[in-house]
Amino acid sequence: MVMSYQVIARKWRPQTFEDVVGQPAAAQTLRNAILQNRIAHAYLFAGARGVGKTTTARIVAKALNCVQGPTITPCNVCDSCQEITAGNSIDVLEIDAASNRGIDEIRELRENVKYAAARDRYKIFIIDEVHMLTTEAFNALLKTLEEPPPHVVFVLATTELHKVPATVLSRCQHFNFRAISHKEIFDRLSYIASQEQVQISHESLNVIARAAEGSMRDAQSLLDQVISFCGNEVDDEQVRNLLGIIPQQLLEGFTQAIIETDPKQILLMVDQVVQSGRNLQHFVREMLSHFRNLLLVKIAGEDDQLIPLSSMDLARLKELAGHFSEEDLVRFFTILVTTEGELRWSSQPRFHLEMGLMKILQAKRLIPIEELVAGLAELTDAEKGLDSPTKEASQSTRSSSTSKFTANLGPKIRSQPQVTAGPDAPSSNLTERLKSAIAQRSPMVSSLMDHAHDVQLMEAGIEVQFTNQNRFYYEMLQSAENLEMIKELADSIVGRPQRVKVVLINAPFQQTSLPNEKPSQNPSKSQLLDRVKSDSNVKKFLDAFQGEITDVKELK
């Protein structure tokens, strides 16, 4: 006996409108047109790959040419139907524009168009990836579309609608084929697996459906791969390995580390991900869908169908989600989206990933603005002759208090110390030039430098100073590559070879003497500092913003 194996995607190609999943609008409109005998001369099906364009085109062809047709329920047993299914009907021509881009094919097509259907009612041309045609071929096609003989129907399909000339578009009835939802893919896979007598867990079906990203064809090809690898009893672990899926555990591990604000653990886990040779962009996408899931559990509860996970995972997710507010999760998501974008072009994806995750840790410390406003309202009433940063900050807080968003006030205050000693003017100019040169060369290094306490140009060279609080950035900046880059830029800006040092300093208390100050009238810095520190409002303020006092000065 000869065993023939037909790939799932082909074997399970829908043969009727009813079986096409997830395209109700297109299916319904086409059915109505057939019922009312108002067939257009040209249709354009636009949508991602594997969502049913070719499938639907063939069903339309059968609906028109079935011996019982035109009918919305082609019989699928007559010669005409069977030939169309097999792809060898002489009256239904499929042209793949991706491989036949030329004018010759379209000329031939135009010749062909003139002749009536050999046997069936209609001559149907299905042109796949129509956007790939050359301009000449488009023009030739256009002529045909302008005066189509009555027995001809064109079905054009494209994955890139924006590349189809408007002149062609305007002559077609246009349908958008949407991506297939996770649930629709899951259900279809589940159905196919049971028909094929394949034992596969919900977990694995979920993993496959998720990896397919809206393409039914991809989902079915993946299922094929999995079956040919595992046989008829599919093992979850093997599926994950086969598809390079990040284990749920690892994602949860990261979440736990975020909950515990444990940067070291996060860096260790990033290392683990890197060592295992996983694609970091893929990893970030998995993190994104993980945080989306957390948000969904939070909003919709654990039994929601929207979440592509098993119920066991859901319970765990719910527990994790309990540690975050919705705002937190949205913010993390946004940070990861940015990170994913950065990874795309980065030559150092690992750095970006690490930075992204550190940003999440920082974002976690943000306090909803309503809370801040409530806590600070009292502060503004109490002005004790001390014009501390309190006033300025609470005013800016108040001005945006109607917004529901949160403000990243903590770091802002840290990076804008109230009074900085700053290097003297000329060297500070050079510092600024250096900073902007770095920003142009590497946004990454530049953003590390943004966390520096100070950048000083000294006789001996350049010193980038970090306080212990920003130790992470200090360590990130240390790489030989970064130092070399800074040195190269500094050399050319200063005009002679510079030594570059990145150092950790104790958060300094700077002895400043601003020109407009009259030192003789002022209490000493340490007296002032004591006064400020003992002020209960200042304490509250520092707590709220997680701030620190870098300097004080007496105002007149």
Ligand X SMILES: Nc1ncnc2c1ncn2[C@@H]1O[C@H](COP(=O)(O)OP(=O)(O)O)[C@@H](O)[C@H]1O
Bridging pattern class, strands 461-467 and 499-505: parallel
75's contact among Zn ion, ligand X, Mg ion, none, with CB below 5 to 8 A by partner kind, is Zn ion
Considering the rule CB under 6 A, would residue 309 count as an interface residue with ligand X? no
> 261: which 2 tokens?
């604000």
78's contact among Mg ion, Zn ion, ligand X, none, with CB below 5 to 8 A by partner kind, is Zn ion
Considering the rule CB under 6 A, would residue 22 count as an interface residue with ligand X? yes
- Per DSSP, the three-state class of 121 is coil
Interaction residues for ligand X, span 161-180 (CB under 6 A): 180
Residue 296: is it exposed, middle or buried by C-beta count within 10 angstroms (0-12/13-18/19+)?
A: buried
Q: Which string of x and - marks every residue 74-93 that binds Zn ion (by CB under 5 A)?
A: xx--x--x------------
Separation in Å, CA 303 to CA 185, 213, 300, 309, 375: 19, 22, 8, 10, 37
Q: Closer to ligand X at the Cβ: 22 or 411?
A: 22
Any long-range contacts for 29-35 (C-beta under 8 Å, 24+ apart)?
29/175, 30/56, 30/60, 30/63, 30/175, 31/72, 34/60, 34/63, 34/64, 34/70, 34/71, 34/72, 35/72
Considering the rule CB under 6 A, would residue 547 count as an interface residue with ligand X? no
Beta bridge partners of 444: none
DSSP state of 199: B
Q: For residues 452 and 185, what is the distance between their CA atoms, to the nearest angstrom?
A: 50
353's contact among ligand X, Zn ion, Mg ion, none, with CB below 5 to 8 A by partner kind, is none
Of positions 21, 84, 172, 280, contacts ligand X by CB under 6 A: 21
Q: Closer to Mg ion at the Cβ: 51 or 297?
A: 51
Q: Which string of x and - marks every residue 40-59 that binds Mg ion (by CB under 5 A)?
A: -------------xx-----
Q: Closer to Mg ion at the Cβ: 53 or 451?
A: 53
Write down the least CB distance from residue 19 to Mg ion, Å. 16
Q: Closer to Mg ion at the Cβ: 24 or 87?
A: 87
Interaction residues for ligand X, span 180-199 (CB under 6 A): 180, 188
Q: For residues 419 and 513, what is the distance between their CA atoms, to the nearest angstrom?
A: 10
- What letter represents residue 172's amino acid? C
Q: Closer to ligand X at the Cβ: 46 or 336?
A: 46
52's contact among ligand X, Mg ion, Zn ion, none, with CB below 5 to 8 A by partner kind, is ligand X
Beta bridge partners of 464: 455, 502
Q: Residues 216, 52: contact at Cβ < 8 Å?
A: yes
Of positions 206, 220, 281, 339, contacts ligand X by CB under 6 A: 220
Of positions 44, 59, 66, 127, contacts Zn ion by CB under 5 A: 66
Of positions 33, 42, 46, 54, contacts ligand X by CB under 6 A: 54
Q: Closer to Mg ion at the Cβ: 53 or 331?
A: 53
HEC readout, 463-524: EEEEEHHHHHHHHHHCCHHHHHHHHHHHHHHHCCCCEEEEEEECCCCCCCCCCCCCHHHCCC
Considering the rule CB under 6 A, would residue 493 count as an interface residue with ligand X? no
Interaction residues for Mg ion, span 7-26 (CB under 5 A): none
Write down the least CB distance from residue 15 to Zn ion, Å. 10
Considering the rule CB under 6 A, would residue 14 count as an interface residue with ligand X? yes
Considering the rule CB under 6 A, would residue 20 count as an interface residue with ligand X? yes
DSSP letters for 242-311: HHTPPPHHHHHHHHHHHHTT-HHHHHHHHHHHHHTT--HHHHHHHHHHHHHHHHHHHHH-TT-TTS-S-H
Write down the least CB distance from residue 56 to ligand X, Å. 7
Identify which range of 4-12, 73-81, 135-143, 519-527 contacts Zn ion by CB under 5 A. 73-81
Q: For residues 193 and 181, what is the distance between their CA atoms, to the nearest angstrom?
A: 18
Size of residue set near ligand X by CB under 6 A = 22
Write down the least CB distance from residue 16 to ligand X, Å. 11
Residue 190: is it exposed, middle or buried by C-beta count within 10 angstroms (0-12/13-18/19+)?
A: middle
Q: Closer to Zn ion at the Cβ: 49 or 121?
A: 121
DSSP state of 233: B
Of positions 62, 182, 217, 298, contacts ligand X by CB under 6 A: 217
Query: How many C-beta atoms lie closer than 10 Å to residue 239's C-beta?
Result: 25
Beta bridge partners of 368: 406
Q: Closer to Mg ion at the Cβ: 54 or 215?
A: 54
Question: Could you list the residues that contact ligand X (CB under 6 A)?
Answer: 9-10, 12-14, 20-23, 49-55, 157, 180, 188, 216-217, 220
Question: Could you list the residues that contact Mg ion (CB under 5 A)?
Answer: 53-54
